[in-house]
Chains A and B, each alone.
Chain A
Amino acid sequence: MQDAIHSSSVGQLYKQHHSWLQGWLHRRLRHSADAEDLAHDTFLRVLHTPQKAIELRQPMAFLATIANGLLINRWRRQAIEQAYLQALAARPEAVEPSPEERHLTIETLLELDSLLLGLSVAVRQIFLMSQLDGMTYPQIATQLGLTLPQVQRAMTKAFSVCYASRFE
């Protein structure tokens, strides 16, 4: 019963604001099919939001906030995709991963990226060298031409950001 009321109020929201939202997204994306998708995703997200968290007093601001979050996710995905394609292009091997493999890789990378969100390329590199190659800080410092405190600071930043994105 509760659910029925919920989806009917979302339906109401949809009727009143869908075209505005799509227009808003269109202005940001300049691509109507993408805007349509994102508007749709926004309402899907609202449907899965617990009813009491839905701000019906300011529906436009509420919808815009959700849509904006999705937009940022989308840009994040584009950044990962682009970085992956560039890394692929820079490889000497001629073997191309299949579309499914690519898709899986990008999904997994996005998952890992969500932990590292906000970490700069430089900090990421140091973190990966330590975590994946098992390099000591003096080794990392020598290889990158940094000082030991710089490496230490980067590692502290990396763990703090990971901690915040996972637990806070």
Chain B
Amino acid sequence: MSGAIEPKVRDSAIRWMVRLQSGVMSADEQEAFQRWRDANDAHDQAWQRVASLALPHQPGAELLRDATARKALESAGPDMQQRRQLLKRMVVLGLLGSATWQGADSTTLQAAFANYRTGTGERRKWTLADGSALWLNTASAVNLDFTPAVRGLRLVEGELSLISAPDARALQLTTADALLRTTDAQFLVHHDRQGTLVTVLKGQVKVQSRRDQTSVPLEAGWQTRVDNAGIETASRADLPVAQAWLRGILPAERMRLDDLVAELSRYRPGVLRCHEQVAGLRLTGSFSLDNTDAALTLMARSLPVRIERLTRYWVTVMPA
């Protein structure tokens, strides 16, 4: 594809497309859209691209006139969790015709392609098909692929806690850095750009680096990091601290302010930054992950800093 389109322009084009498809666009809006499109070449180019995505324009789309093919495409979506929620809502509203959704709710599909996700600041627990308990911390995503041979999970981003249920199949969790295998264990995994941190609470987990294929067994009470360089030497884990997020708490012991701010920013939307003049101040305390504003207030009370709020989504910790 020639020429990059700026994300902002792309998003505007998508917004206009969504608006145009609504079927309730006013004449004024139509004009505004024309003006936007004519305003410059980049707008028009972005528009051409978005317009090319209309489903009836795709090669083979005529096939979807066949109800069976259409049904297949519709029900092959990966996100069964969300679909179940939608279903529930529809049942409650009494709007669900029994025939419409039948047949699509296959348990194998459900098990093979379920996706679990939490938004920023959200923390949730699910019970998986095999009875294992999965917790996701803020802004995390897990894709499940359970097959008859293996219980596969992929941590795409974020942090999870997993209590595996006994099952004949091995449990195998992958991240971009690591491959973790166990039959029965309780463990925590945190994946970000720095790598994958694994903490075992119960049982044993076999940790393998996807880079160099080396692997080590990790016992309960130990943690290790897997990154570009391979697997670090395991160290003793502070288990209550490692599990604190499950209780919605961020414990800090003489923690650098910039580290604390970086950690808190995982739990709130927008930008939370810290001025470099105060970055090295240290703080001890227990902060609530569910109310980061309270954590900021506490910070301003205990240190010579003030909280500068440009908007709710743009917050900087400044020297007082």
Tell me whether A and B are bound partners.
Answer: yes
B26 at the interface (CB under 8 A from A): no
Decide if A144 is an interface residue (CB 8 Å cutoff): yes
Quote the shortest CB–CB distance from B68 to chain A (angstroms). 5
Residues of A contacting B255 in the complex (Cβ-Cβ under 8 angstroms): none
**A112 surroundings in chain B (CB, below 8 A):** 55, 58, 60-61, 63-64, 73
Tell whether, in the assembled complex, residue A79 and residue B55 are in contact, meaning their CB atoms are under 8 Å apart: no
Q: What are the interface flags for B51-93 relative to A under an 8 Å C-beta threshold, 1 for contact and 0 otherwise? A: 0111110111101111111111111111110110010011001
Find the residue from B56, B59, B72, B102 having the highest chain A CB count within 10 A. B72
- CB <8 Å contact, B90 and A163: no
Interface residues of A in 96-122 (CB under 8 A from B): 105, 108-109, 111-113, 115-116, 118-122
- List B residues 1-31 near A (Cβ within 8 Å): 1, 5, 10-11, 14-15, 17-18, 21-24
**Among the listed A28, A109, A143, A162, which residue makes an inter-chain contact with B63, where contact means beta carbons less than 8 Å apart?**
A109
Q: A84-B68, A108-B60, A127-B55 are in contact. Are A152 and B86 (CB under 8 A)?
A: no
Interface stretch of the complex, out of B104-112, B184-192, B244-252: B104-112
Assess A124 versus B109: contact at CB under 8 Å? Given A64-B210, A108-B60, A155-B21: no
The answer on a CB contact under 8 Å between B106 and A82 is: yes
Whether A121 touches B79, Cβ cut-off 8 Å, given contacts A108-B63, A113-B73, is yes
Contact B149 A61 (CB under 8 A): no
Q: Report the count of interface residues on B (CB-CB < 8 A).
A: 66
The yes or no answer to A135 lying at the interface (CB within 8 A) is: yes
Known A30-B148, A111-B60: A155·B213 in contact at CB below 8 Å:
no
A-B interface pairs (CB < 8 A), number: 185
User: Nearest-CB distance from B123 to chain A (Å)?
Assistant: 21
Give chain B interface residues in 197-241, CB to chain A under 8 Å. Answer: 210-213
Q: Which of A87, A116, A136, A159 contacts B24 (CB 8 A)?
A: A136
Give Cα distance in the complex from A15 to B177, angstroms: 26
What separation, in Å, do the CA atoms of A35 and B102 have in the docked complex? 34
Q: Considering the chains assembled together, what is the distance between the CA atoms of A155 and B82 in angstroms?
A: 16
B55 and A132 within 8 A (CB): yes
Q: A109-B73, A128-B73, A132-B56 are in contact. Are A122 and B82 (CB under 8 A)?
A: yes
- Is there a chain B Cβ closer than 8 Å to A60's Cβ? yes
Does A33 belong to the interface (CB within 8 Å)? Answer: no
Query: Is the CB–CB distance between A58 and B211 below 8 Å?
Result: yes
- Cβ 8 A contact of B74, one of A28, A58, A108, A124: A124
Within the assembled complex, what's the spacing in Å between the Cα atoms of A30 and B66?
35
- Determine the distance from Cα of A115 to Cα of B145 in the docked complex, in whole angstroms: 21
Q: Are B54 and A156 in contact, with the CB atoms below 8 A?
A: no
Closest to A118 in B: B78
| A18 and B49 alpha carbons, distance in the complex (Å) | 42
Cα distance A96–B61 when bound, in Å? Answer: 21
B115 CB contacts on chain A under 8 angstroms: 120
User: How far is B128's CA from A150's CA once the two chains are assembled, in angstroms?
Assistant: 27
- In the bound complex, do residue B15 and residue A156 qualify as a contact, i.e. CB atoms below 8 Å apart? yes
B266 CB to nearest chain A CB (Å) = 23
Closest CB-CB distance, B122 to chain A, in whole Å?
17
Asked if A38 is at the interface of the complex by the 8 Å CB criterion, the answer is no
A53: chain B residues within 8 A (beta carbon): none
Q: Which residues of the partner chain B approach A128 to less than 8 Å between Cβ atoms?
A: 55, 64, 70, 73-74
Docked pose: A167 CA to B55 CA in angstroms: 15
Q: Which residues of A contact B49 (CB under 8 A)?
A: 163, 166-167
Q: A16 on the interface (CB 8 Å rule)?
A: no
Task: Please give the distance in Å from B19's CB to the nearest CB on chain A.
Answer: 8
Chain B residues lying within 8 Å of A2, measured Cβ to Cβ, are: none
Contacts A80-B76, A109-B69, A131-B54 given; indicate if A86 touches B103 (C-beta within 8 A).
yes
- Not counting A28-B147, A119-B79, a sample of 4 additional A-B residue pairs whose C-beta atoms are within 8 angstroms of each other reads A80-B73, A82-B76, A144-B86, A167-B1
List B residues at the A interface (Cβ < 8 Å).
Answer: 1, 5, 10-11, 14-15, 17-18, 21-24, 49-50, 52-56, 58-61, 63-80, 82-83, 86, 89-90, 93, 95, 102-104, 106, 108-109, 112-113, 115, 145, 147-150, 210-213
Which A-B residue pairs are the 8 nearest by beta carbons?
A136-B23, A120-B79, A121-B77, A131-B55, A84-B72, A30-B149, A87-B71, A108-B60
